[in-house]
């Protein structure tokens, strides 16, 4: 019905001690207040506010959540990494339907990478690993653009990190359909020739491994200011593009994926779909409670807000 976005990049606001900085907390409070106002303006009767890896992993998460609650009146719920992967998978399954067979889903966020696979609406395997584009940019790159040594060492390190996860995901066989969600994957697909957002959500978009490797050779030599000028790359995320591309390439290589389809639905839609299932009378014990949904009964006019 409507969509409003504010880029916070909270994964980059974590201090060396692992706490969310005062600046990051201030930005979060302002964003929650603004989204609450936007939801009220839309006539929303059921607000589902949730946070992901950056808030989840902050050493001072409890204090930050308490401040958000006291200053905005919003009870910001924190999803676990597995919840994140499962709810994103649900959204992808609903988008493609049962005919898609065994699905494999990847989602790159600022702080983490989510992976899930299965034949049902609830995946057989779901993982969240700390390989987000913002996290890697902060912890592994010290130059803009990254040096060749940083690129090479990060690529090798990612291969080691992803090998055991890939083995578990492929334990029950190859996927019938491999799918990616998130802004990072959409930007990478656009840069390799996929349809622009103006073509609408139903346009088929694909990211190939060969195209991604060629793209990395190009963008890894560009400073973030130049990357921000590329079509499909937002200025707020440009500096994360190289790290996101390396994560995507390493995941595709580890999983032996020649290509990924880009799904327009992701975590936000998964949260809303699960709430609608709950509202319509399905049993929340297996799935709804896993997503740590608020206890109120949903009615028409729902608005999902996410902070990561």
d(CA 294, CA 82): 18
CA of 123: how far to CAs of 96, 189, 205, in Å?
14, 25, 23
**Given this model, what pLDDT does residue 288 score?**
39
The answer to whether 117 touches 103, Cβ cutoff 8 Å, is: yes
Q: Do 31 and 98 fall into the same domain?
A: no
Q: Do 87 and 233 fall into the same domain?
A: yes
Q: Do 126 and 193 fall into the same domain?
A: yes
The answer to whether 116 touches 105, Cβ cutoff 8 Å, is: yes
Q: Do 180 and 258 fall into the same domain?
A: yes
Place of tokens 């890697």: 136
CATH (domain of 26): 3.30.420.40
pTM of the model: 0.87
Report how many domains make up the chain.
2
Q: Do 159 and 233 fall into the same domain?
A: yes
Token couple for 77: 């719920």
Q: Do 249 and 102 fall into the same domain?
A: yes
Name the phi and psi angles at 208, rounded to 5: -95, 150
From first to last of its 308 residues, what are the pLDDT tens digits of the chain? Answer: 788 888 888 888 888 899 999 999 999 999 999 999 999 999 998 889 999 988 999 999 999 999 999 999 999 999 999 999 999 999 999 999 989 999 999 999 989 999 999 999 999 999 999 999 999 999 999 999 999 999 999 999 999 999 999 999 999 899 999 999 999 999 999 999 999 999 999 999 999 999 999 999 999 999 999 999 998 898 888 999 999 999 999 999 999 999 999 999 999 999 999 999 988 765 443 443 443 333 333 333 445 555 55
In a domain, 287, yes or no: no
CA of 84: how far to CAs of 12, 37, 50, 113, 203, in Å?
20, 25, 10, 10, 25
Q: Do 155 and 241 fall into the same domain?
A: yes
In a domain, 234, yes or no: yes
Residues 6 or more apart from 265 whose CB is under 8 A from it? 91, 92, 94, 95, 181
Q: Do 22 and 139 fall into the same domain?
A: no
d(CA 120, CA 105): 13
Dihedral of the CA atoms 227, 230, 231, 232 (nearest 10)?
-10
Q: Do 105 and 164 fall into the same domain?
A: yes
**Given this model, what pLDDT does residue 232 score?**
87
DSSP per-residue string spanning the chain: ---------GGGGB-TTSPBPHHHHHHHHHHHHHHHHHHHHTT-SEEEEEE-HHHHH-TTHHHHHHHHHHHH----EE--HHHHHHHHHHHHHHHH-GGG-SEEEEEE-SS-EEEEEESSSS-SEEEEES--HHHHHHHH--SSSPPHHHHHHHHHHHHHHHHHHHHHHTTT---SEEEEESHHHHHHHHHTTPPPGGG-TTS--EEEHHHHHHHHHHHTTS-HHHHTTSTT--TTTGGGHHHHHHHHHHHHHHTT-SEEEEPS--HHHHHHHHHHHHHTT--TTTTTTTTT--SSPP-SSEEEEEE-
Domain range for 55 = 10-79+293-307
**Given this model, what pLDDT does residue 125 score?**
96
Q: Do 72 and 104 fall into the same domain?
A: no
The answer to whether 89 touches 270, Cβ cutoff 8 Å, is: yes
Q: Do 19 and 115 fall into the same domain?
A: no
Q: Do 155 and 252 fall into the same domain?
A: yes
């Amino acid at each position: 019905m409507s969509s409003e976005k504010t880029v916070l990049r909270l994964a980059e606001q974590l201090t060396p001690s692992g706490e969310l900085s005062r600046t990051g907390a201030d930005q979060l409070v302002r964003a929650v207040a603004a989204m609450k106002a936007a939801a009220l303006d839309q006539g929303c009767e059921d607000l589902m506010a949730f946070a992901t890896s950056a808030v989840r992993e902050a050493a001072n998460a409890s204090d930050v959540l308490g401040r958000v609650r006291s200053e905005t009146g919003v009870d910001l719920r924190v999803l676990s990494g597995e919840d994140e992967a499962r709810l994103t998978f649900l959204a992808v399954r609903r988008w493609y339907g049962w005919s898609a067979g065994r699905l494999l889903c990847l989602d790159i966020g600022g702080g983490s990478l989510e992976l899930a696979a299965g034949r049902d609406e609830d995946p057989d395997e779901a993982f969240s690993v700390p390989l987000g584009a913002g996290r890697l940019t902060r912890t592994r790159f010290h130059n803009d653009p990254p040096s060749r040594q940083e690129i090479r060492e990060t690529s090798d390190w990612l291969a080691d990190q992803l090998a055991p996860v890939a083995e578990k995901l492929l334990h029950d066989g190859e996927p019938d359909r491999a799918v990616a969600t998130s802004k990072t994957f959409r930007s990478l697909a656009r840069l390799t020739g996929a349809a622009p957002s103006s073509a609408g959500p139903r346009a088929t978009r694909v990211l190939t491994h060969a195209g991604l490797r060629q793209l990395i050779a190009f963008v890894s030599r560009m400073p973030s200011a130049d990357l921000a000028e590329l079509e499909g790359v937002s200025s707020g995320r440009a500096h994360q593009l190289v790290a996101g591309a390396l994560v995507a390439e390493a995941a595709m290589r580890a999983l032996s994926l020649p290509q990924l389809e880009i799904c327009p639905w992701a975590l936000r839609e998964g949260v809303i779909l699960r709430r609608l299932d709950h509202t319509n009378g399905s049993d929340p014990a297996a799935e709804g409670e896993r997503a740590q949904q608020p206890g109120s009964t949903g009615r028409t006019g729902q608005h999902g807000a996410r902070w990561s």
